[in-house]
C-alpha cells in the first residue's frame, strides 16, 4: 500500500467521522454512532497510524495498511448509512411517561443486580443467561438517563455523580471478568452520550482527547500485567489478590510515548484489527474461499432462543473464524474477535463490506434517533428499550451472532424491567416528577 493510499484511507476515516459528529450535534441523538466510530478508530485506524509514523519499526505494515483501507471503505459506508437514517423515520411520539433521577437509580440498581448476582447464578442456563447479561447494560442506560436529567436541572457540574460510577467500570470488568475492553466500551458509551448535550463543546472535545491519551497510557500498563490479573480472576482468587494485580498495573502507568517502540508494539500487538483484516483480505482474495453468506445465516439463526432449540449447533462469539480466515493459530485463553470488516469481507468481498456497513449505519441511526426522541419526551421506558438495543450494536470487535443475540436479549430484558417498574410505579414505590417531563436537548 502506497503512502497516497494510506492518506486516502485516513481521509475517509476523518471525513466519515466528521459527518457523523456533525449529524449527531445537529439532531436528536444519543451518541451511538460516535460510540461505534470510536471503536473503529481504536481497532483499525489507530494501529495503522502508528505503523505510518516515520520512526515506526512495527512489522507487517503492508498487511496492516491493506486491512486499514478496507475498514476505511466500511467506515465511509457507515457514515453514508448514518446520513440516510432519517429517511427511515416516521412521525414518532413518545408516550410521555415521566422521567426522574429516582427512575434512573432504579435502572442502575436493576443493572447492578443482574451483573453481580443474576449473571453468576444463571451462568450456563440457555437463553435466560443471555437476558441477564443484556440486563446488566441497564446500568449504562440508568447512568445516561440520570446524567441527562441532572444536566438539564443544574448544568454540567451536577452530572459528576452520574459520570463517576462510569469511570470505574473498566476497573469493575477487570476485577470481575479479567477484561479491560468491556469496561472501556461501556465508559465510552456513557461519555459520548453526555457529549451530545454538554456545553460548551470545546470542553467536551478537550476532555475526550485527554481521556483518550490517558486511556492509551493505562492500556500499555495493563497489557504488561494482564496475565497476572487474569490468572487471579479466572482461578477465583479473593478480591485482595485481584486488587494487588491491578495495583501492580497502575504502578507501571506512564505517559504513552509515541517515540517508544515498546509502547507502539504493545498497542499494535493487541489492538490492531487492521492486521487481522489485512491477512484475511490477502488470503481470501488469493484463494477465493469466500463463505457466501454462511456467517450471516448463522447470525440470523441466533434470533431463535436456545431454550426453544436446545440442540442449536451455533454458539456466540467468533469461535475459530479468525483462524479460519487468516490462517493464524492462537493460544488457549486468548480472546480474538472477528470484527465486522473481516466477517463481511469473508462472505462476499468488498461489496459485502460496503453494503453491510451501510445497513449498520442506517439501523443504528434509526435506533439512535428513536432513543433520543423518547429521552427528550420524558419517556424513560422506551428510551431504555431503544438505547439497550443500540448498545448491542457497539461490538466492533465481535461477530454478528453476538450483535443479533444481544439485541434480542436486550429487548426481552428491557421489557421485563419496564414492566416491573411500571408495576412499582402504580403501587407508589417509584415516584416520578411531573416537572421532569419532556426536557429538551439544547
Q: In Å, how far from its chain's centre is CA 369?
A: 17
Residue 28, all three cell numbers = 436528536
- Domain ranges in the chain are 3-436
Which tops the pLDDT comparison, 438 or 389? 389
Q: Which cell numbers in the block locate residue 326? A: 487468516
Of the chain, the percentage scoring pLDDT greater than 70 comes to 89
Is the N-terminal amide bond of 200 cis, ω within 30° of 0? yes
pLDDT class of 86 with cuts at 50, 70, 90: confident
Three-state SS at 287: helix
* pLDDT band at residue 124 under the 50/70/90 scheme: confident
Predicted confidence band at 440 (pLDDT cuts at 50, 70, 90)? very low
The mean pLDDT of 405-429, rounded to a whole number, is 85
Residue 337: pLDDT band with limits 50, 70, 90 = confident
Grid cell, residue 117, equals 448476582
d(CA 167, CA 179): 15
What is residue 127's predicted lDDT score, i.e. its pLDDT? 82
**pLDDT, mean of residues 109-128:** 92
For residue 169, what pLDDT band results from cuts at 50, 70 and 90?
very high
**Taking Cα atoms as reference points, which of 328, 281, 327, 286 lies closest to residue 71?**
281
CB atoms within 10 A of CB 243: 15
pLDDT digits (tens, 9 = 90+) for 218-259: 999 999 999 999 999 999 999 999 999 999 999 999 999 999
Maximum C-alpha span of the chain = 67
- Look at 133-137, 329-333, 385-389 and tell me which has the smallest mean pLDDT: 329-333
Residue 99: CA atoms inside 13 Å, Cβ hemisphere, count? 33
Checking if the pLDDT of 52 tops 90, the result is yes
Amino acid at each position: 500500500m502506497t503512502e497516497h493510499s494510506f492518506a486516502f484511507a485516513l481521509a475517509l476515516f476523518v471525513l466519515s467521522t466528521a459527518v457523523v459528529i456533525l449529524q449527531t450535534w445537529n439532531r436528536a441523538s444519543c451518541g451511538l454512532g460516535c460510540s461505534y466510530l470510536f471503536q473503529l478508530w481504536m481497532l483499525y485506524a489507530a494501529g495503522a497510524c502508528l505503523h505510518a509514523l516515520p520512526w515506526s519499526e512495527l512489522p507487517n505494515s503492508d498487511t496492516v495498511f491493506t486491512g486499514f483501507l478496507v475498514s476505511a471503505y466500511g467506515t465511509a459506508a457507515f457514515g453514508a448509512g448514518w446520513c440516510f437514517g432519517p429517511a427511515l423515520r416516521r412521525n414518532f411520539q413518545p408516550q410521555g411517561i415521566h422521567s426522574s433521577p429516582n427512575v434512573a437509580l432504579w435502572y442502575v440498581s436493576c443493572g447492578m443486580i443482574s451483573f453481580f448476582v443474576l449473571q453468576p447464578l444463571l451462568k450456563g442456563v440457555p437463553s435466560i443467561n443471555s437476558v441477564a447479561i443484556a440486563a446488566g447494560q441497564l446500568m449504562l442506560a440508568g447512568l445516561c438517563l440520570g446524567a441527562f436529567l441532572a444536566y438539564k436541572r443544574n448544568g454540567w457540574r451536577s452530572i459528576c455523580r452520574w459520570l463517576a460510577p462510569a469511570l470505574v467500570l473498566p476497573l469493575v470488568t477487570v476485577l470481575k471478568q479479567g477484561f479491560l475492553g468491556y469496561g472501556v466500551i461501556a465508559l465510552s458509551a456513557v461519555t459520548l452520550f453526555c457529549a451530545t448535550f454538554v456545553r460548551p463543546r470545546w470542553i467536551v472535545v478537550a476532555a475526550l482527547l485527554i481521556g483518550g491519551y490517558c486511556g492509551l497510557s493505562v492500556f500499555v500498563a495493563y497489557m504488561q500485567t494482564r496475565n497476572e490479573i487474569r490468572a487471579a480472576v479466572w482461578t477465583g482468587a479473593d478480591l485482595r489478590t485481584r486488587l494487588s494485580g491491578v495495583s501492580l498495573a497502575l504502578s507501571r502507568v506512564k505517559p504513552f510515548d509515541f517515540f517508544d517502540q515498546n509502547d507502539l508494539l504493545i498497542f499494535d500487538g493487541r489492538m490492531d484489527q487492521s492486521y487481522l483484516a489485512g491477512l484475511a483480505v490477502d488470503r481470501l482474495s488469493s484463494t477465493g474461499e469466500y463463505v457466501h453468506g454462511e456467517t450471516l445465516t448463522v447470525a440470523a439463526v441466533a434470533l431463535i432462543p436456545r431454550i426453544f432449540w436446545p440442540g442449536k449447533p451455533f454458539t456466540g462469539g467468533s469461535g475459530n473464524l479468525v483462524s479460519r480466515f487468516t490462517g493464524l493459530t492462537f493460544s488457549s485463553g486468548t480472546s480474538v474477535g472477528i470484527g465486522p470488516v473481516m466477517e463481511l469481507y469473508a462472505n462476499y468481498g468488498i461489496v459485502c463490506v460496503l453494503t453491510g456497513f451501510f445497513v449498520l449505519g442506517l439501523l443504528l441511526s434509526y435506533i439512535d434517533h428513536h432513543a433520543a426522541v423518547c429521552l427528550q419526551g420524558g419517556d424513560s421506558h422506551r428510551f431504555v428499550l431503544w438505547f439497550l438495543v443500540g448498545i448491542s450494536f457497539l461490538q466492533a470487535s465481535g461477530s454478528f451472532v453476538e450483535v443479533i443475540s444481544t439485541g434480542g436479549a436486550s429487548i426481552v430484558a428491557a421489557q421485563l424491567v419496564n414492566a416491573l417498574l411500571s408495576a412499582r410505579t402504580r403501587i407508589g414505590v417509584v415516584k416520578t416528577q411531573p416537572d421532569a417531563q419532556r426536557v429538551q436537548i439544547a
